[in-house]
Amino acid sequence: MSQLVLRGFRLWPLSWHFGMAHQIAGLVLLSLIVFGTITGVIIRTKYVASLREDLKARGESIAQSVARSIQRGAIRQDPASLGLLLKEFGQIHGVSYIAVLGQNGEVVAIGPQDAALEALGLAQAAAGDTPVVDLAVPVQSGMKGSVHVGVDLGVVEKGLEKVPAIVWRIVLVSILCAMSVAVIVYLSTIRPIYVLTESVRQIGQGRFPRAIPIRSRGELGMLARSLEQMSADLASYHEQLESKTRELELSKEELQRQNEEIRKAQSQMIRSEKFASMGQLAASVAHEISNPLAGILTYLKLIRRRLESGRMGEGQQETIRQYLVTMEKETERCGHIVKNLLDFAKSSEPDLREIDIHRVLDDTLFLLNFKLLMSDVLLEKRYEDVPLVAGDFGQLKQVFLNVIINAIEAMKGEERVLSIHTQFHRESQTVLVEIQDTGEGISEKNIYRVFDPFFTTKRGGTGMGLPVVYGILEKHNADISIDSQPGKGTKVTIQLNVANPRRVSRTNQEPTESRT
């Protein structure tokens, strides 16, 4: 694992991806191979050419020396000295033979004897493709003829044996130079890049080094100083961010505490408001119940008098029956008032389960079927494919009872149509239930008061129906909205949450419609 100790100014490259180092080493190695190959070829070529030229120059020099000796005439006066001269020159390294030929090509003298004859024959027989090169110098005066010197090219081949050693020495020196350059490049470029890379990695991990061990005055040093400044700035920003985070956490805790206090205060306010409403309701109930109770008491007294009088004809029985019917209606009215009071007063929490909203609506409509028939209301149902909702079956049934009863009682004209439409709102994952009537509608000034307890525009109403509905839906975390136009009707929209959004079907089916 690589470790960079910035404060101790030490670099321990235990394992690195030497991308640049590999490239430099490869370039150096390739350069050495190319340089060694080219150097070897050049040295061999130059060395061979140099040896050839040297041998030829030496041979020509010997031939010219012998030719000058013959031209001076000293050799002609003493033929033995010619043989000694040829023998002496023939011992020079690289000379195969020396021969003096007459004007007609006859051999006048030659040395050394055997090798010279053999070499001369080969030189004359071959066309320059022989290890022996014959060099001829003419004798211009005195004895007419020429001096031939045979140069042994095998000396050149032997000289080539020294070339590899020379090349290896050059390559070795080149390697040493390349290694020196590589070390300099590593210390001046690659190592600082590793240090910068490790510093950037530490900064990315949230550790901000205060010093970067690069003391170069060049571009890398400038980059290191800039990186140090950036690290210091980021460290300062990081400390500020942590400080702000701690402050936010404290603020969050304080907000949670305040929200809890607000929730408690709101609950207390709701309870206080409910108690205040209960007080108002008690007065209203006392007033509403006193009238039917007084009527019931009056009818009871009349019935008792008629029974005590003993006169019970058919006409009297019919009158008593009408009294009893009136008493029954007034009693039901009292019971309805008390029931609404209990529904509003009780604070039972809903038992939320997965329920079919269509089943709740159908059960509610079944209970109200007789009222729909007696009120001459046409029912239109349009059920779309909707998922199960989260709710309390009984409480939602009470919601729809109150809303539908209000809709039925609001329709007094000739056209009495009650429309119930359900649909799924995919974006909000809710089921919408729209209940629309063709009744009298609600005026603009009253529509904002329909959820206030005891507010009613109906004769004999208690004003507790919609407040109870609102309370139930609030506990279901559901919404209700009312859109009304006076003279055209009212539409109540109830928005319920889907029980399990993950299981919501993505299939779109045709809505189910019915008219009754």
Q: What is the DSSP string of 66-86?
A: HHHHHHHTHHHH-HHHHHHHH
Cα atoms found within 13 Å of the Cα of residue 19, Cβ hemisphere only: 3
Q: What is the pLDDT of residue 383?
A: 93
First-last CA distance in the chain: 81
Closest to 6 in 3D by CA, of 230, 210, 193: 210
Closest to 89 in 3D by CA, of 71, 103, 68, 73: 68
Instruction: Enter the tokens of residue 494.
Output: 């109830």
Pairing verdict, β 95-101 and 107-111: antiparallel
Same domain as 503, residue 402:
yes
Q: What is the pLDDT of residue 497?
A: 92
Which of 154, 181, 208 is at the close of a domain? 208
Same domain as 223, residue 203:
no
Closest to 124 in 3D by CA, of 114, 134, 116: 134
Per residue of the chain (516 residues), give pLDDT as tens: 333 444 433 444 434 445 666 676 677 777 777 777 787 777 777 777 777 777 777 777 777 777 777 766 655 555 666 667 777 776 676 677 777 777 776 777 777 655 545 445 444 433 444 467 777 777 766 566 777 777 776 666 666 666 677 777 777 787 787 778 777 777 777 777 777 777 777 777 777 676 766 666 667 667 777 777 777 777 777 778 888 888 888 888 888 888 888 777 655 655 554 555 455 556 556 666 777 788 788 878 877 887 777 666 666 777 778 878 888 878 887 776 676 566 555 556 778 899 999 999 998 888 788 888 888 999 999 999 999 999 988 889 888 988 898 889 888 888 899 999 999 998 889 999 999 999 888 888 887 777 776 767 666 566 667 777 888 888 888 999 989 888 889 999 999 999 887 665 444 444 556 666
What total number of domains does the chain contain?
A: 3
Same domain as 247, residue 170:
no
Domain with 399 in it: 349-515
Same domain as 422, residue 379:
yes
Q: What is the pLDDT of residue 460?
A: 57
Same domain as 84, residue 32:
yes
Instruction: Enter the tokens of residue 389.
Output: 């909702």
Distance of alpha carbon 150 from alpha carbon 426, whole angstroms: 110
Which of 347, 382, 402 is at the close of a domain? 347
Encode burial over 22-49: b for 16+ CB neighbours within 10 A, e otherwise.
eebeeebeeeeeeebeeebeebeeebbe
Q: What is the pLDDT of residue 382?
A: 94
Same domain as 155, residue 203:
yes
DSSP state of 503: G
Same domain as 226, residue 79:
no
Q: What is the pLDDT of residue 156?
A: 62
Q: How far is CA 257 from CA 78, 253, 302, in A?
A: 138, 6, 66
DSSP per-residue letters across 231-298: HHHHHHHHHHHHHHHHHHHHHHHHHHHHHHHHHHHHHHHHHHHHHHHHHHHHHHHHHHHHHHHHHHHH
What's the one-letter identity of residue 130?
A: T
Same domain as 77, residue 17:
yes
Distance of alpha carbon 15 from alpha carbon 299, whole angstroms: 107
What's the one-letter identity of residue 430?
A: T
Same domain as 233, residue 178:
no
Q: How far is CA 25 from CA 18, 28, 31, 513, in A?
A: 10, 5, 10, 83
Q: How far is CA 392 from CA 12, 363, 457, in A?
A: 70, 14, 29
Which of 157, 192, 208 is at the close of a domain? 208
E strand residue ranges, 185-229: none
Same domain as 203, residue 115:
yes
Same domain as 483, residue 418:
yes
Same domain as 141, residue 23:
yes
What CATH number is attached to the domain comprising 435? 3.30.565.10
What CATH number is attached to the domain comprising 196? 3.30.450.20
